[in-house]
Structure 1
Amino acid sequence: MFPIFDITPILFQTLAMVFLEPQILQLFLVVLAIVALQYYRMGKAKERMFGLKPRSPWRDVLIATGFGLVGGIMASYIMVFVGLTLSGSGLIYLWPLAILLMLIDARFLCFAYAGGILALSSLIFGWPKISVPQILGLVAILHFIEAFLIWVSGHLGAMPVFIKNAQGKVVGGFALQKFWPIPLTVMVVIGQTSIPAGGISMPDWWPLIKGDLGSNVDNMIYSLMPVVAGLGYGDLAAARSPKQKGKISAVLLALYSVILLVLAVLADRQPFIGIIAALFSPLGHELLIYLGRRMEAGKSIYSTTSEGVKILDVVPGYPAWQAGIRSGDVILEVNGMAVGSRQGLEFALGVYNKVQITYYSQAAKQVYREGIDYGAKEMLGLLPVPEGNEEVFMELSTNGPLRRWLNNRFTRDRK
């Protein structure tokens, strides 16, 4: 039986070192600053959409840190359960290669691509000297934690955007962007002994991934080490709500990570499976992206309706939010006057300081009438869906600087 109760005190003591050791704490604060910068940028983008002053990003950072801590604890338990160690994991190569790949396309920053390339290079050319099961197991576990974080919080703080669909019409949608600082613990091999040593006794089947340790694994002495990581998630919701899209993405990503982890464990026993696992790491991730795009290729639920004005987003705390209006609802009348366009809605709201809004609730599937009293300079906090002919919209491109430079160079040469 796996000694989870014996491991727990040591795991939490090691995890606490992230906040107690000055050098590790500094690294955690750097990751936290990067996360805060991302949320600040998202706030500025939302300001451009609503014309409202963005709130402080620290609330979002605090929430992300809380979720990241839970994810880090989960990752630590899974890594110990699998027997994943830093020895032979290729972590020293993962970050540099991922950053180089990001110059081509931003989505290649994900370890699924760098891990797969390093594993294939090691199997085919013998360089770098890494444990293929270890590196792919690491990729799988990090993606499983990302799937959990997407499930519980991927939809929070979704940013409204205007996008152009396949028919060239500008419609509404939500950019799902989340960033989590992840404090976690990993195992390291600190020595070897030929006599029974103290510590925690592990079951006979452990570890699931032996890596380069081979038959010597029973004589190894392990310790836990605090590590800081960061995870990010980016997606688009147009054909379904942010929460629905987040749940679907989380399930698909969890399935991908479980398959990759199983392949990594099998590759530890049958080396030829390492080729399959190394190919599945990037190609399976590309399949996830393809499926995600196909899901959003259909009709946007955030487009104009034949009756009334559909709302793309509502700012929490503002009068419209307090009146119960939510994303996807349709405003039918203002003070008894029917509204059928964004301009008509803006005109009707600009005439009165106290209005009675009749709207259809998408969630309750019924019509409500609410009175709203707001000052002359106060905003309702409503963002209607685009009407299809807006000139400002978000370009859906993840091209990195190198690809953009090559595209511009190619365009100039053709001219």
Structure 2
Amino acid sequence: MSYLWDDPLSYGSAWISLFSSPWIFLACLLSLIQNLWIVRLERKRFGRRLEPPVPLILRNWFFGMAAGVALSFLLSAMEWEMDAEELLWVWAVTLLFSAGGVRFSCLSYSAGILTLASLGVQRLGSSPFPERWDKLWNSLEQFSGTGWLWLIGIVHLLEWALIRVDGDRGVLPIQIKHRTGQWINGFLLKKGWPIPLVILSADSWMPLPVFISFARLNISKPVKQQKRLASTLTCFYGIMLCGLMLAAAKWKGVLWAAAVFAVLGHETIYQWGRWQEKQKEPFFVSDQRGLKVLAVLPGSPAATLGIKSGDVIQRLNGVRVRSMEELEEQTKRAAFCKLEVLDERLDRHMMQKALYEDDPRHLGIVGAIPLGIRNPEPKQEVNTAGKLSKKKVHHHEA
């Protein structure tokens, strides 16, 4: 930490430069785009948002910023080789990859690919391109891949904590085709954070804003359990990459393996998880036990009662319900509802509430597809007025 206390004014100036740089705004913009994409799909599917977007976005930015400040302080005793030109390379590739989806905007892909390109350029030596490309060739050749790979590993150890704290906010309810051929419900956990960093490079403090993200399909377990699994896998990824970098300090050839792992290891976590989820028994299905709750609309009677995603509604006013149609049939003429509900731990709860004329008949519940339906009919969706409108369901795959 001595570097920080030797020149605190320069350190403070670096932070001012960071928050006025275009890169931190781009990092925040990527996070904003991701959250607005979720809001758009929720509106398309349910006619309204399941979670207010402004608090969600501000929470996302806050945790990313706080994590970046904390990590910068921890890294302030280390000297790094990166420079502003390399940051330009990283953000150019990040924006290019973001065209394929915000999850590809993660530092793992951009810095990992650039490290592989740099190692390849170093192996080739002289440029095979016309002379006007020599400056770019030399810049890529000098790209400090070792420092960037270390940073990827360390930042993903930080991402473990971010996923634990914030990874289940703003999850997207989806429909996906199971290996059995049945359409089932699930969730897509997809999130990214802007990480503002200030590091010591070439005896001066350098602003280094980056972006990290993760994605995880969930159809087999409660969202909180899937979030914990995703954070654990991210932590293992960071530990393994840091371990490869320790080995690369002794054996130069390992640097190639570390760069490949930075890219493919990150992508494998998502693709392997997606494949594995499709092999498991679905969790979000309505069956003989009752109507599985996929989501609850904010401000609705169900939200007032305390019903949560993953609950199972067994009876309404003493009558068994296994689908949204059966639930709406029972509430159509009822002035009072008494619900028998199982929570995720299968504990039984009794809930009751008076029904008023303007209360929606679905109670604000988004129910899961009943077990055994292979090709669900167009469903009735909730519009902003709380009534029902005929719309075709769009099957969103992760």
TM exceeds 0.5?
A: yes
Asked if the contact 1:264–1:274 (Cα under 8 Å) also holds between the matched residues in 2, the reply is yes
Q: For each residue in 1:284-303, what CA deviation from the matched residue of structure 2 results, as whole angstroms up to 9, or x when unmatched?
A: 22332243224412111001
Opposite residue 84 of structure 1, the aligned amino acid is: W
Output the TM-score relative to the length of structure 2: 0.79
Match of 1:273 in 2: 254
Q: Structure 2 CA distance, aligned partners of 1:8 and 1:308?
A: 65
Give the conservation status (yes or no) of the 8 Å contact 1:313–1:383. Answer: yes
Taking structure 1 as the reference length, what is the TM-score of the superposition?
0.76
Q: 2:326 aligns with which of 344, 349, 366?
A: 344
Q: Deviations over 1:355-404 (max 9, x none)?
A: 111222223x332221122432333221110123325343435xxxxxxx
Deviation at 1:4, TM superposition (A): 9.4
Q: 1:262 to 1:9 in 2, by over 3 A?
A: farther
1:390 aligns with 2:376: yes
User: 1:112: Cα distance to partner?
Assistant: 2.5
Secondary structure of 2:348's aligned partner: strand
Q: Indicate the residue corresponding to 1:252 in structure 2.
A: 233
1:305 — aligned with what?
287
Q: Equivalent residue for 1:242?
A: 223
Moved more, 177-186 or 32-41: 32-41
Residue matched to 2:340:
358
Structure-2 separation of matches of 1:7 and 1:336: 73
Q: C-alpha separation between the residues in 2 aligned to 1:287 and 1:177?
A: 15
Matched residues in 2 for 1:94 and 1:336: separation?
61
Q: Which amino acid aligns with 1:239?
A: S
1: CA distance between counterparts of 2:75 and 2:305?
47
Cα distance, 1:248–1:4 mapped onto 2, change above 3 Å:
farther
Q: Helix, strand or coil for the counterpart of 1:67?
A: helix
Distance of aligned partners of 1:326 and 1:9 in 2 relative to their CA distance in 1, 3 Å threshold: farther
For 1:292, the equivalent position in structure 2 comes to 273
Q: Which of 126-135 and 56-65 deviates more?
A: 126-135
The answer to which of 107-116 and 279-288 deviates more is 107-116
Is 1:61 equivalent to 2:74 in the alignment?
A: no
Alpha-carbon distance, 1:27 to partner: 5.3
Q: Indicate yes or no: 2:121 matched with 1:125.
A: yes
C-alpha deviations, 1:245-288, integer Å up to 9, x for none?
Answer: 11111111111112212322442443222122122222322332
Structure 1 residues 115 and 105, CA, compared in 2 at 3 Å: closer, same or farther? Answer: same
Structure 1 distance, partners of 2:285, 2:88, is 47
Could you say which residue in structure 2 is the equivalent of 1:226?
207
Query: Is the CA contact (8 Å cut-off) linking 1:183 and 1:228 kept in structure 2?
Result: yes
CA apart distance, 1:142: 2.9
- Against the structure 1 CA distance between its residues 92 and 53, is the aligned structure 2 distance closer, same or farther, given a 3 Å change threshold? closer
Percent identity, aligned pairs only, is 26
- In the TM superposition, residue 71 of structure 1 has moved relative to its aligned partner by 1.4
Deviating more after overlay: 354-363 vs 246-255: 354-363
1:142 corresponds in structure 2 to: 155
Distance 1:125 1:29 in 2: 31
Gaps of 5+ in 1: 190-221, 398-415
Q: Give structure 2 stretches of 5+ with no counterpart.
A: 123-139, 378-392
Q: Amino acid of the residue matched to residue 147 of structure 1? A: W
Letter in 1 for 2:54: W
State the one-letter code of the partner of 2:12: Q
| 1:211-232 superposed Cα distances (whole Å, 9 cap, x missing partner) | xxxxxxxxxxx22233433333
Q: Which amino acid aligns with 2:309?
A: S
Against the structure 1 CA distance between its residues 8 and 180, is the aligned structure 2 distance closer, same or farther, given a 3 Å change threshold? farther
**1:188 to 2:206 alignment:** no
Deviations 1:83-129 (A, max 9, x none): 33423993332233344445567654433233333323322331522
Letter in 2 for 1:42: I
Question: Aligned partners of 1:186 and 1:332: how far apart in 2?
Answer: 56
Aligned-partner SS, 1:351: coil
Secondary structure of residue in 2 paired with 1:181: strand
Residue type of the partner of 2:227? G
Measure the CA separation in 2 of the matches of 1:223 and 1:294: 46
* Distance verdict in 2 for CA 1:252–1:11, change over 3 Å: farther
Q: Per-residue deviation at 1:70?
A: 2.0
The answer on whether the counterparts of 2:310 and 2:344 sit within 8 Å (CA) in structure 1 is yes
Preserved CA contact (<8 Å) 1:79 1:141? no
CA–CA distance in structure 1, aligned partners of residues 78 and 274 of structure 2: 33
Distance 1:378 1:300, change over 3 A: same
Query: Distance between the aligned counterparts of 2:114 and 2:186, measured in 1?
Result: 36
| 1:193 matched residue in structure 2 | none
Change (3 A) 1:84 1:374: farther
Is 1:320–1:372's contact at 8 Å kept on the other side of the alignment? no
Q: What CA distance in whole angstroms lies between the structure 2 residues aligned with 1:48 and 1:375?
A: 27
Q: CA deviation at 1:80?
A: 3.2
Q: Report deviation, 1:238.
A: 1.0
Q: Check the 8 A contact 1:314/1:383 in 2, yes or no.
A: yes
What does residue 315 of structure 2 align with? 333
Q: Which moved more, 1:263-272 or 1:249-258?
A: 263-272
**RMSD between superposed Cα atoms in Å:** 3.0
